[in-house]
Structure 1
Amino acid sequence: MHKVAFNAQADFKNVVASENASKSMLTEYFKANQKHPWARHILYKDFPGSFTWEKRKKFWKPRVERFQIGCIVSANPAEGERYYLRVLLNHVMGKTSFEDLATVDGMICGSFREAAERLGHIEADNTLDDCLTEAEQWGMPCSLRRLFATILVHCEPGDVRGLWDRHHEPMSDDYRRTRTSPNDVEQIVLLDIRGKTFLYRAMLAKVRSEGKIAIATAMSGVAASIMPGSRTAHSRFKIPLSCDDGASCSFTKQSGTTKLLRMASLILWCEASMTKRQAVEVLDNSMRDIMGIRD
C-alpha cells in the first residue's frame, strides 16, 4: 500500500512495471534481512543506526558513517491493519517478508492484528498506552483528544479509566492555561471527546453499504483524518481561500468534483459551525448552480 510518485506524462503501464515501483523502505528492509543475517537482530525503527537508505537506487546499505537515530511513521488504531503492522515492526525483528512478519509458530495468520494478538503485543491496553504516549511527544491537546476518542470507538480498551488517568493531563494542557479549577477542566475535556465520531462513521458506513456515495469532509485536517475517506472541505469542494459575496467554488460543471457531488446521497461536513459563513454560502451557490436550482 505504499505510495508511488511518477510524472503526469508517464505511461501508467510502464510505471507499474518499473522495478522501483514495488520498492519501499520496508520491502527493502525485508531484503536486507535476507542478505545480511547479522541484521536480523535489529528492529525496523533502529535500522538507520546500522544502515543507510540509498534514495535513488532504493536499497539499504550497511552504514560506514556516523550513527543515526530512526523512527517509524505514526499510525493510529483507526487505520486498522496499518496500525497493527506498525505494532509488529516495533516488537519483532529479523523478518524477511510480509508473510514472514504475519507468521507465528509456523502458522501464517490471516491479518497483522491476529499475529500481534497471538504474540501478546495487543492482548492488554499497553499498546494503546504506547500509542497515546508517543502521540504526546508531538501532538497538540486537541489532536490527543481526537485520538483518545478514536481508541474508545475502535479499540474497546479494557481499562478506560486507567487510560484516562494516565493521559488526561496532556489532553487538557490548552484548557488548563485559561481555567484554574481542575474539575472544570476535566468536564470540558470529557465533553470534547464525546461519541460524535462514532455517529459520523456509522452514518457513512450505512450509506456506503447500500452502494450509495457518501462524502465526508471536515474543517481541519486533523478532524478529516478520523473519518474514512475524508478530506478538508476546502480541498474537497475547491472553496477559494478568499470568499466574497456571490463567489463560487473553483470546479467546473464538467469536472469530476461536479459529477461526484451530483451522485452523492450524503454530505457530512464536520465542524461546519466553526467555518466562516462565506465558505458555506460559496458551496451553496455552487451546488445550486450544478443542480440547476434557482431562487
Structure 2
Amino acid sequence: MALDHDLVGVASEPVERSWRADDVILYALGVGAGAQDPTDELAFTTENTAGVELRVLPTFAVLAAQARTGRRLGDFDPAKLVHAEQAFELHAPLPVDGRVQVVSTVTGIADKGSGALVTTESTAADAETGKPLVTTRSGVFIRGEGGFGRSGSTSDPWALPERAPDEQVRYRTRPEQALVYRLSGDRNPLHADPAFAARGGFERPILHGLCTYGFTGRALLHALCDSDPDRFDAMSGRFSRPVLPGDELVVSIWRDEPGTALFRTATADGWVVIDRGRVRFH
C-alpha cells in the first residue's frame, strides 16, 4: 500500500488534547520569544512577572488542534514528507490551560507529479462546552508518492504588492532552535538527526516549518496587533523552502483591506521560505 485514498472525507473519532502554562511558555521559547531581549515578550515567556498576565501566542493554535488519531496516511518513507502549507482560524482566545476535543479529516490527496499533496482540516472544540476554539487546515507534500492521476484544485489568487512593505521585521533563529522547538511535540528526526535528514535530501537537519511559521506569527502579532493576541484572527501561508537553524528571517508585511494584510517570509539572503501569506486581525 502507498497512500490510503479511502481516508479522504472521513472524519476521525474525537481525540482529547490538553495543555498547561508550561506548554505555552515552552512553545513561545521554541519560536524565539525573548531571544533578542529577555525582558521583551514576558507576557508569553513567564507566568509570575509582577503586573504581567501570561498570554498564548496565536500560532499555538496549530498545536492545540493537533492530536494523534491513530490513522496512518499509508506506507511511505517519512523522511520524504515535508510541511507544505498551514492555515488556522481562531474562534475564541486561546486559554493558558486548555482541554479540547479534536476531530481531523483528510480533505484531499492530490497528484503533483513528483509527489502527493495531502490536505487535512482539524477542528478543536472546548471539551467542557463544545464551543469551537480553533480550525486548522494543513498540507504535507510526500515526495515519490505522485503519479496516480488525481490532481487537486487550484489555490486562491495571491499577488505580491508592487510596492515596498509597510512593515518589515527581522528575527534570527538560533543554532539549537529545532532542538528547543521539538520539545513542543514534533519529534520528527528530520529536525535533529543528520543521517535521517540526509535520507530526505538535506545537507543537515532543517528547522520545523511550524517553527518558522511561529516566528512569522510573532512578527505579525507585534506589527499589526500591538502585541495583543485577542486581536489576531487567522493566518495562512505556503512553505516554499526549508530554513536551517541559525538563519535570519525577514518578515515583509503589506497592509491590505482594513483588518487584513499580506506577508512573505524570507531568509536574509533573499530566499523565500513562506509565500502567499495572509493574515486577518481586528
TM-score normalised by structure 2 residue count? 0.24
Query: Larger RCO: Structure 1 or Structure 2 (Cα < 8 Å, ≥ 6 residues apart)?
Result: 2
Higher strand fraction: Structure 1 or Structure 2? 2
Higher helix fraction: Structure 1 or Structure 2? 1
Larger Rg: 1
